A and B are shown apart, each in its own frame.
Chain A
Amino acid sequence: MLRVLVGREIKLVFRRKSEILNPLFFFLIVTSLFPFGISPEPSVLGLLAPGVIWVCALLALLLSVDALYREDFDDGSLVQMVMSGVSPASIVFAKAITNWLVTGLPLILLSPLLGVMLNLDNDAFGAMVVSLLLGTPSMCLIAAIGMSLTIGLRRGGILLSLLVLPLYIPILIFGAMAVNAATVGQEFVGQLALLGAGLAFTASLAPWAAGAALRVSLSE
Chain B
Amino acid sequence: MAWTWFFRLGSPKWFYQIAGRWQPWIWGLTLIGLSVGTVWGLFIAPPDYYQGDLARIIYIHVPAAYLSMFTYVIMAVSAAIGLIWRMKMAFMFSISCSPIGAAFTLLALVTGSLWGKPTWGTYWVFDARLTSELILLFLYLGHMALYNASDDIKTADKSAAILAIVGVVNIPIIHYSVEWWNSLHQPASLSKLAKPSIDESMLWPLLIMIFSFKLFFISMVLPWLRNNILWRERDSQWVREMIEK
Interface of A toward B, CB cutoff 8 Å:
145, 149-150, 152-153, 155-156, 159, 162-163, 165-167, 169-170, 173, 201, 209, 212-213, 216-217, 219-220
B135 engages A159 (CB within 8 Å) = no
- Contact size range, B: 20 to 34
Q: Which A-B residue pairs are the 10 nearest by beta carbons?
A: A166-B138, A216-B158, A163-B142, A166-B135, A213-B162, A149-B159, A162-B142, A153-B149, A220-B155, A209-B166
A–B complex contacts, Cβ < 8 Å, 13 sampled: A145-B162, A150-B149, A152-B150, A159-B146, A162-B145, A163-B142, A166-B139, A166-B170, A167-B166, A212-B83, A213-B159, A216-B159, A220-B150
At the interface, is chain A mostly helix, strand, loop or mixed?
Answer: helix
Q: How far is the CA of A219 from the CA of B162 in the complex (A)?
A: 15
Query: Distance in Å from the Cβ of A53 to the closest Cβ of chain B?
Result: 19
Residues of B within 8 A of A213 (CB): 159, 162
B158 and A150: CB pair below 8 A? no
The reply on B167 being an interface residue by CB < 8 A is yes
Using CB atoms and an 8 Å cutoff, list the residues of chain B in contact with chain A: 83, 131, 135, 138-139, 141-142, 145-146, 149-150, 152, 155, 158-159, 162-163, 165-167, 169-170, 173
A152 to B154, CA, bound (A): 13
Per the bound structure, the CA–CA distance linking A170 and B138 in Å amounts to: 13
* Residues in chain A near residue B149, CB distance under 8 A: 150, 153, 155-156, 159
- Taking the closest CB of chain A, its distance from the CB of B156, in whole angstroms, is 9
- Residues from chain B with Cβ under 8 Å of A149 in the complex: 146, 159, 162-163
Cross-interface CB contact of B162 among A162, A209, A220, cutoff 8 Å: A209
Which residues of A are found within 8 Å of B158, using beta-carbon distances? 216
Cβ contact of A153, chosen from B150, B162, B169, cutoff 8 A: B150
- What residues on B are CB-neighbors of A170 within 8 Å? 173
Q: Give bound CA distance, A163 to B141, whole Å.
A: 9
Partner of A152, one of B141, B142, B155, B170: B155
Given A209-B162, A212-B162, A220-B155, decide whether A163 and B135 contact each other with a Cβ distance below 8 A: no
**Nearest-neighbor residue (CB-CB) of B180 within chain A:** A194
> Are B138 and A219 within 8 A (Cβ)?
no
